[in-house]
A and B are shown apart, each in its own frame.
Chain A
C-alpha cells in the first residue's frame, strides 16, 4: 500500500511551541509567587510593628492605669486583628495555589499562626486591664481530609463576626497547615480532639454548630447584650 505523508517537521514545531508556552507559564508562575511572598513578607513586617505598638500601649495602660484610653486602644487592636486575619486567609489561598515556593508560604503560615496566638494573649490581657465587654473565640480547623465541615463552620463564624463586629474577636488556627508546638499546647489545654472545634471563654464546642447554637452561646457571654444579640438571646 502507498504510504502517505507524515509531517514530522510540523509536529516538532508544534511540540516546541507548546513547550515554549508551558515554560512561559512556569516562568510567570515563579515571578508571581515570588511577588506574593514579598508582598506577604512586607505585610508581616508592618503587622509585627502594629503588634509591638499594641503591646506597648497595653503595657503603658497596665503601668499607669489610664483606662480612659482603653476604647481607642481596643479599636487599634481590633483593626490590627482584622488585618491579620485577612492576610492569614490570603496566605492560605496563596499557599494552596503555590507550586514552586510552597515552603516559603508554609513558613509564612507559621508566622501568622504565631501572630494570632500573640494577639489572642494580648487581647486577654487587655480584657483584664480595660474590663472590656468582648468575647474571644478560638476556632480550630484542619484540612478537608480531617475536617469535612470546617468550611461550613468558618462561614458561620464569618456571619457572626459581621453581626457582632468588634464585640467578637475570633482567632483561627488551622492545625494541619503547620507543625507548630504552640498549637499542640493549645490543643492539650482545651482538649481539642476533633475538628471543627470552638472555644468560647474556656468552654469547648466540638463539631459543626450552626448559628442557632453559636449565636445564643456567644451572646450569653456579654455583660451588656449587644444589639445584634437581641434576636438570639434567651428571654428569661
Chain B
C-alpha cells in the first residue's frame, strides 16, 4: 500500500467502535483524555467508551463517574477491577466490548477529532488486524520532553517505513485500533506481559496479520518529565522488546515471516546490542583521556601548572582522526537526511524547539538510551522482577 492509497481513503460506513481507556491513578489526565474522545468526529451512537479503573488509589474512579454523569448522551461505562495491570484491564473491556473495532487509548493521551474517520477505512481486508495513528509528544515543556518530541517525530518516519514493509512490531497504547474479532481469536492481551502492546503486535505478526501505520491522524501523549520516569518507562519498553522477541524467536531469521522475521525481529534485538556498544565506546573514549591524565598527574604530584603555562599549540589538519571523522560525517549526513524526511512526513518543523535541543538530541540522547539498555541487560541477567 503506497502513501497515496493511505491518504485518499474515505470512510463510507460507520461501524460500531469500542474505545477503552485503562486507567491506574490517572486523576490528572483522565478528563482531558475522555474529552478528546467525546470530541471525535464520529456519530456518538456509533461508539462506546469503556473506562477501566485498574484499582486506582487516587480519585480516578470518582472522576470517571463524574464524566459519565456530565455526558449522559454518550455511552460511557466505568469498569472497576482490582489492580491487575493494563493487560487485564484491556481484556476486561475486550470481553464486554460491543464494537467491531476495539481501540486502546492510554489515559495520558489525546486523540485528534478525525482519528476514526481517517483510520477505519484502512481495514480494507480481513488480514488488516490493526491500524495505528501518528504518535507525538503533547505540549513538551522541559528539555527532556522536547528531546522525546524529536525522538517520536523521527520514530514516526521509521515506523512509516516499517509499515510499508509490514514490519510494525508494536501497537502502542495511544489509540491503536484493532479488529475486535481478531483480538479474541488470537487469545486476548497477555496479562502477564510488561509490554502487552508489543506482545500483541508480535502475536498478530506471527499469525501473518497486517498492521497499518498512518502518518495522519495524530495522537498526542504526555511524555515522562523527569529522567527517572523516562528511565523507568524505557527500561520497561526495552526489556519488554527483548523478552518478547525471545518469546517469538521462532520468527527470527525465518523467511516464512518475510521481512518481519528476516529484518525487523533481529533489528529489535540488535538495536540493544548496538546501543550498548555505542554507549560503552563513547564513554570509554570520552572519559579515557581525562582519567589517564588524572592518573598520570599522580606521578608529578598533581602539578599541572607547567602544562598550562608552557602549553604549545601543535596541531595540523592531518592530525585529525579521519576514521572517526568519516564515520561521524557519514552518520551525520544520514541523520540529517532522516530528520529532514521525518520533518516532511510528520508535517512538523524540527527547529521548533531550537538548534540547541536538536543538537543535544543528535549528539547525546543516544547515551541515555545506551544507559537504559545497559540497565535492561543487567536486570535480565540478575532476573529482576519488572514492575509495570
Residues of A within 8 A of B (CB): 1-7, 10-11, 21, 25, 28-29, 32, 35-36, 39, 86, 90, 93-94, 97, 151-152, 155-156, 158-159, 162-163, 165, 208, 210-212
B300 pairs with A159, CB closer than 8 A = yes
Assembled-state Cα–Cα distance A208/B295 (Å): 14
> A163 to B307, alpha carbons, bound, how many Å?
9
A6 with B258: CB separation less than 8 A: yes
CA distance A97 to B324 in the complex (A): 11
Q: Tell me the residues in window 268-323 of chain B with beta carbons closer than 8 Å to chain A beta carbons.
A: 292, 295-296, 299-301, 303, 306-307, 309-310, 314, 316, 318-319, 321-323
Instruction: Note all chain A residues with C-beta closer than 8 A to B330.
Output: 21, 25
Interface size on B, residues (CB 8 A): 33
Q: Does B175 contact A (CB under 8 A)?
A: no
Decide: A6 near B255, CB < 8 A? Known: A90-B319, A93-B319, A97-B321.
Answer: yes
Task: Write 30 A-B pairs (CB below 8 A) sorted by A numbering.
Answer: A3-B255, A4-B256, A4-B258, A4-B261, A5-B165, A5-B166, A5-B258, A6-B255, A6-B262, A7-B259, A10-B165, A11-B263, A25-B326, A25-B330, A32-B322, A36-B318, A93-B319, A97-B321, A151-B292, A155-B299, A155-B300, A156-B296, A159-B299, A159-B300, A159-B306, A162-B306, A163-B306, A165-B310, A210-B299, A212-B301
Cross-chain contact A211 with B301 (CB below 8 angstroms): yes
- Provide the bound-state CA to CA distance between A1 and B301, in Å: 73
Tell me how far the C-beta of B334 lies from the nearest C-beta in chain A, rounded to whole angstroms.
9
User: Are A4 and B323 in contact, CB atoms less than 8 angstroms apart?
Assistant: no
Q: Which chain B residue has the least Cβ–Cβ distance from A25?
A: B326
Q: Is B232 an interface residue (CB 8 A)?
A: no
Chain A residues contacting B261 (CB-CB under 8 Å) are: 4
Interface residues of B in 52-76 (CB under 8 A from A): none
In the bound assembly, the distance between CA atoms of A7 and B162 in angstroms comes to 12
Q: How far is the CA of A123 from the CA of B322 in the complex (A)?
A: 37
Distance, CA A45 to CA B344, complexed state (A): 56
A211 touches B208 (CB 8 A): no
- B260 close to A (CB within 8 Å): yes
A100 CB to nearest chain B CB (Å):
12
- Check if B231 is an interface residue, CB within 8 A of chain A: no
Q: Is B257 close to A, CB under 8 A?
A: yes
Cα distance, A39 to B316, chains bound together (Å): 10
Q: B303's closest neighbor in chain A, by CB?
A: A159
Whether B208 and A4, one on each chain, are in contact in the complex, defined by CB atoms closer than 8 angstroms, is: yes
**A6-B262, A28-B322 in contact; A151/B255 too (CB < 8 A)?**
no
The CA of A1 and the CA of B261, in the complex, are separated in Å by 14
Q: Tell me, in angstroms, the Cα distance from A35 to B319 when the chains sit together.
A: 11
Q: When the two chains form the complex, which single residue of A21, A94, A152, A162 contacts B296, counting CB atoms closer than 8 Å?
A: A152
Cα-based distance from A159 to B306 in the complex (angstroms)? 7
B310–A162 CB distance below 8 A: yes
A4 & B259 in contact (Cβ 8 Å cutoff): yes
Contact B256 A1 (CB under 8 A): yes
Q: CB within 8 A of A86: which of B166, B306, B314, B327?
A: B314
A228 to B350, CA, bound (A): 57
Query: Chain B nearest CB: distance from A162 CB in Å?
Result: 4
Docked pose: A5 CA to B166 CA in angstroms: 9
Distance in Å from the Cβ of B80 to the closest Cβ of chain A?
Answer: 42
B323 contacts A29, CB within 8 Å?
Answer: yes
Tell me the complex Cα distance, A94–B320, Å.
10
* A134 CB to nearest B CB, Å: 17
CA distance A165 to B319 in the complex (A): 25
The winner among B260, B314, B318 for most chain A CB atoms within 10 A is B318
C-alpha gap A3/B259 in the complex (Å): 11
Q: How far is the CA of A32 from the CA of B317 in the complex (A)?
A: 10
* Nearest Cβ on chain B to A6's Cβ, whole angstroms: 5
Other A-B contacts than A39-B318, A152-B299, A208-B299, 7 sampled, CB-CB below 8 A, are: A10-B165, A90-B319, A94-B318, A155-B299, A162-B306, A165-B310, A212-B301
Q: A78 to B327: give the CA distance in the assembly, Å.
A: 40
What 1/0 mask marks residues of chain B from 241 to 269 whose CB sits below 8 Å from any chain A CB? 00000000000000111111111000000
Task: List A contacts of B321 (CB < 8 A).
Answer: 97
A149 shortest CB reach to chain B, Å: 9
Of all chain A residues, the one with the shortest Cβ separation from B205 is A4
User: Judging by beta carbons under 8 Å apart, are A159 and B307 in contact?
Assistant: yes
Question: Which chain A residues lie closer than 8 Å to B256 at the CB level?
Answer: 1, 3-4
Chain B hits for A210, CB < 8 A: 299-300
Residue with the greatest number of chain A CB neighbours at <10 A, chosen from B257, B299, B321, B322? B299
CA distance in complex: A159, B261 (Å): 59
Minimum distance in angstroms from A141 CB to a CB of chain B: 15
Determine the chain A residues whose CB is within 8 A of the CB of B260 once the complex forms: 4
A35, B318: Cα distance in complex, Å: 8
Residues in B neighbouring A2, C-beta threshold 8 A: 208
Inter-chain contact A211/B300, CB cutoff 8 Å: yes
From A89, which residue of chain B is reached at the shortest CB distance? B314
- Provide the residues of chain B in CB contact with A25, threshold 8 Å: 323, 326-327, 330
Chain A residues with CB under 8 A of B310: 162, 165
Rounded to whole angstroms, the CA-CA distance of A6 and B300 in the bound complex is 63
Distance in angstroms between the alpha carbons of A152 and B300 in the assembled complex: 10
Cα A32 to Cα B323 with chains together (Å)? 10
Per the bound structure, the CA–CA distance linking A3 and B319 in Å amounts to 54
